[in-house]
Amino acid sequence: MTFLGLIYEQLFVKPTYPTTSCAGQTIIVTGSNVGLGKEAARHFARLGASKLILAVRNTKAGEAAKHDIESTTRCSPEVIEVWPLDLSSYASVKAFADRASELPRLDVLLENAGIAAVKWQVFEGHESTLTVNVISTFYLALLLLPKLKSSAKQFGIKPRLTIVSSAVHAQAKFAEWKEPKIFDALDNESKFDVWERYPLSKLLEVLVVRQIAPGVEGSGVILNILNPGLCHSELARDAGWPLTVMKFFLARTTEVGSRTLVAAAVAGPEAQGKYMHNGKVDESVVSPFVKSEDGKLAAEKVWKELSAILEAIQPGVTSNL
Ligand SMILES: NC(=O)c1ccc[n+]([C@@H]2O[C@H](COP(=O)([O-])OP(=O)(O)OC[C@H]3O[C@@H](n4cnc5c(N)ncnc54)[C@H](OP(=O)(O)O)[C@@H]3O)[C@@H](O)[C@H]2O)c1
């Protein structure tokens, strides 16, 4: 998309206010104590979700979000639960998934939590953005796929597995895809490019979703990925004044941005394996690299390596696909 196109969309395109009922649904939103996740959760509560799980690393902040959502939507206090989930720890991801697997049903797993790290840090042996935005995100997805699939069969529903990505995936150069081992190259601190890393993590999400989508096809689960647009939130709070200025002029409110998350979480079969933009399926804005032959090769390589990482965390987990 051109810069002018971006300005136009940010200022004049408003995703539709969500009205699809979520009555009877059990919905998990990761990273829902603040930002887009919290506003999406507020919509789900208003739309009548029966159980809404705020999956957060800071449960005190999660409880504050629960009370805030309850006071604005007047949903019953039994609807919202706050569960601990820290994507920087595989043990936390596993504990969360084990607990969620005991739920009677699961209609939506909305994987929204993410970071835009401004310095080098290592979680679980990998650079922090890779661990949180990519490895743990897909680890959780694979751990809960069986629950989503069984819910589809048992209740005749179409559960959604929705990943929050970004239009900035198109800005990543991703020269490392040609390296013999992509994740090793990305975990090399001496070559760490702090400005490249967040867009790159969002690109990896897009590549992986496209790679695993055929495996999810036919299971009854709808897997999709979305771009919320530039929105006000806590993300990149330390990224400096250029982003602050850009957000001041162009950013959507958090509520308006969150509509795109809800749109993907209620989308129909047309969204299977697809990229959503402004609340609609729109593959035209997926980056040219992703759609190129090189992009397809890169997706295969990334998934092969990510599968090996996930299998090392938990043998057999990729067979949940
Ligand atoms: N805002 C935008 O302009 C924009 C644009 C495109 C895409 N996105 C994407 O939208 C999603 C939500 O971002 P946002 O803008 O709403 O940012 P945000 O306000 O910073 O919210 C991010 C959420 O993720 C949580 N989180 C961070 N690290 C975590 C971890 N290790 N384990 C569990 N949760 C963790 C945060 O928890 P804490 O409060 O504890 O830090 C917070 O709840 C992200 O995936 C982001 O990449 C945002």
Residue 8 lies in a domain: no
For the CA of 36, the closest atom of ligand 1 is 16
- Give the number of domains in the chain: 1
Q: Which domain holds residue 200?
A: 22-311
Ligand 1, atom 36: closest residue by C-alpha: 31
Q: 321: Cβ–Cβ under 8 A, 6 or more apart, which residues? A: 142, 145, 212, 215, 216
Contact between residue 15 and residue 260 where contact means Cβ atoms under 8 Å apart: yes
Residue type, 183: F
Contact between residue 138 and residue 302 where contact means Cβ atoms under 8 Å apart: no
Residue 272 lies in a domain: yes
92 is catalytic: no
| Interval between CA 112 and ligand 1 midpoint (Å) | 6
End-to-end CA distance of the chain: 33
Residue 16 lies in a domain: no
SS (H, E, C) 88-115: CCHHHHHHHHHHHHCCCCCCEEEECCCC
Based on DSSP, count helices (H) and strands (E) in the chain, helices before strands: 12, 10
Residue 11 lies in a domain: no
Residue 12 lies in a domain: no
| Interval between CA 36 and ligand 1 midpoint (Å) | 7
Residue 318 lies in a domain: no
Tell me what pLDDT residue 248 has.
86
Contact between residue 210 and residue 234 where contact means Cβ atoms under 8 Å apart: no
Report the relative pairing of strands 222-227 and 280-281 from DSSP bridges.
unpaired
Residue 4 lies in a domain: no
Q: Is 147 helix (H, G, I), strand (E, B) or coil?
A: helix
> Can you give the pLDDT of all 321 residues of the chain as single tens digits?
788 888 999 999 999 999 999 999 999 999 999 999 999 999 999 999 999 999 999 999 999 999 999 999 999 999 999 999 999 999 999 999 999 999 999 999 999 999 999 999 999 999 999 999 999 999 999 999 999 999 999 999 999 999 999 999 999 999 999 999 999 999 999 999 999 999 999 999 999 999 999 999 999 999 999 999 999 998 877 666 777 888 888 899 999 999 999 999 999 999 999 999 999 999 999 999 999 999 999 999 999 999 999 999 999 999 999
Q: What is the DSSP string of 232-264?
A: -SSTTTTS-HHHHHHHHHHPBPHHHHHHHHHHH
Contact between residue 222 and residue 160 where contact means Cβ atoms under 8 Å apart: yes
Where residue 285 sits, what CATH number does that domain have?
A: 3.40.50.720
| Interval between CA 292 and ligand 1 midpoint (Å) | 29
Provide the β-strand partners of residue 55: 30, 83
Residue 10 lies in a domain: no
Q: 279: Cβ–Cβ under 8 A, 6 or more apart, which residues? A: 15, 16, 259, 260, 263, 264
Please tell me which residue in 158, 202, 247, 274 is annotated as part of the active site.
Answer: 202
Contact between residue 89 and residue 147 where contact means Cβ atoms under 8 Å apart: no
